Amino acid sequence: MIPYELLKAEAASHPYPLLFATISGAHLYGFPSPDSDFDLRGVHILPVEEAVGLLPKRETISVEAMRGAVELDLVTHDISKFFGMLLKRNGYVLEQLYSPLIVQTSAKHDELKQLVPGCITRNHAHHYLGFADAQWKLFRKEDPPRVKPLLYLYRVLLTGIHMMRTGRVEANLLTLNQDFRLPYIDELVSRKVTGAERSRLETAELDFHEAEYARLAAVLEEAGTQSSLPAEASCRDELNDLLVRIRLPL
């Protein structure tokens, strides 16, 4: 169960107004363990005098804390930085923006979500391929390897393929697998969420998952090549207009 009231209180205590705050990480991806922390991600709005002044700007604010029995990790970026990240091939910020696990929202959050499909390009395939490579290296680094980074690997690959094919953002592995129907996903998720005793993989399983990684990475690469998505973002002017209206309200 997600402690929304506690998380809303954390968002409300932020030193700057928030455009939005959503839940990311394992809860968004569909495989939280009983002891998973809560990853809060969002966008804050620096006042004009801080945004344009010469003093150091708090472009990113990060808080790791225990609130009773709840461990949370809050990271927010100022609107200028976040909008700049949206214009790059950064799928992670797209997932934060479209997370259905909303802790705090605003009318401008909704407006931003309407604009951002124009930021999704076929070059986001490179983001997900690079992310998958990092997750595979993390997975193989441990002996014996854990289920968690393997699930992150599959989540990243399926999110990327889905985005290239549809132009939409979907980060929940179980939802994605309703279309992909990979027979091993449900079993891996079960092993991860039911406790540490089943969270490691046997050596005999590694060859299979290495082959699946190679296969799905090739599918993602091909999906990016064949995607009808544009090569460049088309929403720069609209994002700039929204940024100015947020920073300099009438």
234: left (phi over 0), alpha (psi -120 to 50) or beta: alpha
Residue 250 has pLDDT above 80, yes or no: no
How far from the centroid of its chain's Cα atoms is residue 220's Cα?
A: 18
Residue entry with tokens 């799905």: 216
How many Cβ atoms are within 10 Å of 127's Cβ, its own excluded? Answer: 21
Q: Enumerate domains of the chain plus CATH numbers.
A: 4-119+233-247 (3.30.460.10), 124-226 (no CATH)
Kindly report each contact of residues 200-205 with a partner whose C-beta sits within 8 Å and lies 24 or more positions away, as own/partner.
200/144, 200/145, 200/146, 200/147, 201/144, 201/145, 201/146, 201/147, 201/150, 202/144, 203/144
**Bigger pLDDT: 205 or 102?**
102
| Per-residue model confidence (pLDDT) at position 197 | 45
Instruction: State pLDDT tens for residues 165-177.
Output: 999 999 999 999 9
| Per-residue model confidence (pLDDT) at position 199 | 73
Instruction: State pLDDT tens for residues 62-95.
Output: 999 999 889 999 999 999 999 999 999 899 999 9
Phi, psi of 224 (to 5 degrees): -65, -40
Closest CA to 237 of 6, 18, 83: 83
Residue 249 has pLDDT above 90, yes or no: no
Residue 214 has pLDDT above 80, yes or no: yes
